[in-house]
Structure 1
Amino acid sequence: MKLQPLPTSLLVIGTFGSANGTVPGASRANEAPTAGKKYLALGDSFAEAIGAGRFIDPNLLPDGENHNRCARMDGSYPMQFLPMMKDLVADPIDFFACSGDKLDNIDNQLNKLTGNTVDIVSLSISGNDFFFNDVIHVSTFTRGGAKPAQEVCDKKIEFSDWAIKQEETWEKYRAKVKDMRNHNPGGKIYITGYARFWSIDMPPSNDDECSRKKLFHTSSLFPDWFPNLLKNRIGTLMMAARNRRLMNFRVLDINDRIGRQSFEARYPIVGP
C-alpha cells in the first residue's frame, strides 16, 4: 500500500493576472526568465507538508500545544519547486502556508501581500473546509468508540461530500482569490488542487493485500492485562479498497470544482 505521489505537472490549476490585467499570451513561455522574482507560498498543510522531510527552521518546532503549528517542511512542494525555478525565483522564498488553515482564517496569510511586490504566489486551500483531516484520521487511524469503525468512517466521508457541495464555500473561495488579486494586482497566482490520498492502483473489490491490513496497529501499546475487547475497538478498520476509492473520489471532486471556478482570467489546466 502506498500513498499517491505528488505529480508536479498537475499542481498548477490556473494562473491569474498580469501587470496589465490581461491573460499573457502563449509566447510568454519562450521569453527569457528574469532572475530574482519573489515567490510567496500560501495555503494549508498540503503546502506546508507536515511530515514531509525536516523542519525548515528547527528552532520553530510544534510543541504539542498548537504553538508553531505552521512549521514548514523541506519536502513541501514550494521547497521542491525552488531548485526547479532557480533561474527565475529568488532564494529564500516567503513561506507562509499553515497547517489547519481554512478559507475563513487565511486572511493572516493574505495580509503578507499588502505593501509587497510579489511576482509569484502559490495557493493550496479548502481541504480543511471539506474536512479532509477528519476523513483521513477516522478512516485510517481508527480510535474506536461506541459505533462500528466503518460506520464512523462512512459518516465522515458523507459529511465531507456534503461540505464539498455547499456553494457558499465556493463563493468564499472565489472571494479570497479576488482579495489576492487586489493585494497584488501585478503578480501571478498559481492555485493548486490536492494529491490523492492513495494510489489509483487498486482492485474493484476489497480483495487486495492492503484491504486485509491496518495502516496503524495499536494493540502492542497496551499491557497484557488490558481487556482484548477494548484493544479491538482501536485501530480495527482495515484499509479496504472501497474506503480508499471513496477518499480519492473526494479529492478528485474538489480538484474538478477548483478547476471549474469562474475567475477573471485563467490559463488552461496543465496536465501530465
Structure 2
Amino acid sequence: MRLSRKYVIAAFVAVAAAGGIAAPAIAAEVAAGKYVALGDSYASGLGAGDYGDSGSCKRSANAYPQLWANSHAPSAFEFVACSGAVTSDVTGGQVGAITPDTELVTISIGGNDAGFADVMTDCNLGSDDSCVSRNQEAQAFAQSELPGRLDGVYAEIRNRAPDARVVVLGYPHIYTLNGDCSVGLSETKRAAINQSSDVLADVVSARAAAAGFDFVDGRAAFSGHEICAPGGDWWLHSVTFPIDESYHPTASGQANGYFAALNGVTG
C-alpha cells in the first residue's frame, strides 16, 4: 500500500471484515510442521511496530504470524506477507514459499483489491454522500470481481500444499457505532465503512468455505475494541503518524485480536 490510499486500504480493509468466526467449538490442534504466512498489511503487522529489515513490506515482530511461530515453534517458518499486497502478489510471488510439506498456511487478503484505501481517503476528505457512494463502489467490486480472484489464490495454495491446513483471517470493523468519539468522521461515514467490512467478510468467508478452509472473522476477534469503543481500549489506530499505520491493528490488536483468534482455531 502506498501512502494514504494503499495503506489506508489494508487499514480499511481492515475495514472490511464480516461474518461470524468460523472457528470450530473445539479447535483441532495443528502439528508444528512448516508454517507459511501470506497476505497484506493486516497479516504483515503494519501498525504494530518493530519491522526489522523487512523494508516496505513492514513485517512486524508483533504480527500474528510471528506470534504464532514464537509460541508453536514450527519446523520451518516463512513469513512473506507484505503491506500493500493484492491477490496477484500472492499468486505471483508469495505462494512460492509454500512447499508440499507445508502443514499450516494463514492468509489475510482482498481488501486492497477492492480499493478500500481509496475508501478511507475519500471518506476522510469528502462529504457524507461521496463517502457512501465510494463504499458502494467498493462493495460492488467485492461482490462481483473479488470472488474469482480469491478462488484463484485459494486454488494455488491447495495445489502447492494438498495436505496443509489453511486459515483465512478476515478484517475487523473499523468503528464502534454510536461510540465514544466526539470528533472525526460522521456516524454516516462510519456506518458506511462498517457495511463495506461486512460485505467483504461475507465474500471472503464464502470463498474460504468453498475451498474447504477455516475462516476467522476479524469482526468477532476485535469486537469491543474498534475505534470509538467505550473505554478507549482500541486495537486499531485512527489517523496517526506514520500515516501508513492509520486504520491498522496495533500490537494489542495483533496479539489479543488476531493471534488469540488464530490460536483458538489451531490449538
Structure showing the higher helix proportion among its residues = 2
Separation of aligned partners in 1, 2:216 and 2:174:
21
Counterpart position of 1:75: 62
Q: Decide which of 27, 30, 36 is 1:40's aligned counterpart.
A: 36
How far has the Cα of 1:52 moved from its partner? Answer: 1.3
Distance 1:117 1:92, change over 3 A: closer
Counterpart position of 1:49: 45
Letter in 1 for 2:96: N
Letter in 2 for 1:258: V
User: Would you say the 8 A contact 2:132–2:192 is kept in 1?
Assistant: no
Unaligned stretches of 5+ residues in structure 2: 1-11, 222-267
Separation of aligned partners in 2, 1:39 and 1:133:
29
Counterpart position of 1:137: 121
Q: Decide which of 165, 181, 190 is 1:188's aligned counterpart.
A: 165
How far has the Cα of 1:154 moved from its partner? Answer: 2.9
Unaligned stretches of 5+ residues in structure 1: 16-25, 61-67, 143-147, 215-238
Separation of aligned partners in 1, 2:46 and 2:215:
30
Separation of aligned partners in 2, 1:151 and 1:102:
28
Letter in 2 for 1:248: N
Letter in 2 for 1:249: Q
Q: What SS does the aligned partner of 2:57 have?
A: coil
- What's the RMSD between the two structures over aligned residues? 3.4
Separation of aligned partners in 1, 2:26 and 2:85:
37
Q: Decide which of 95, 98, 114 is 1:110's aligned counterpart.
A: 95
Are positions 1:244 and 2:221 aligned together? no
TM-score (norm 1): 0.63
Distance 1:187 1:149, change over 3 A: same
Q: What SS does the aligned partner of 1:123 have?
A: strand
How far has the Cα of 1:155 moved from its partner? Answer: 3.2
- Deviations, residues 82-132 of structure 1 (Å, cap 9, x unaligned): 45xx2x44277311111111112222001221x452110001110011111
Separation of aligned partners in 1, 2:56 and 2:119:
20
Separation of aligned partners in 1, 2:26 and 2:129:
53
Separation of aligned partners in 2, 1:27 and 1:14:
8
Distance 1:122 1:267, change over 3 A: closer
How far has the Cα of 1:27 moved from its partner? Answer: 9.1
Distance 1:89 1:249, change over 3 A: farther
Letter in 2 for 1:38: K
- Deviations, residues 65-98 of structure 1 (Å, cap 9, x unaligned): xxx3212112322233345xx2x44277311111
Separation of aligned partners in 1, 2:167 and 2:201:
14
Work out which of the two has the higher radius of gyration on C-alpha atoms and give 1 or 2.
1
How many corresponding residue pairs? 202
Counterpart position of 1:263: 210
Separation of aligned partners in 2, 1:11 and 1:182:
27
Separation of aligned partners in 1, 2:21 and 2:81:
17
Separation of aligned partners in 2, 1:41 and 1:77:
9
- Deviations, residues 145-203 of structure 1 (Å, cap 9, x unaligned): xxx5434423321221221221x42022112101110011121111111111112xx33
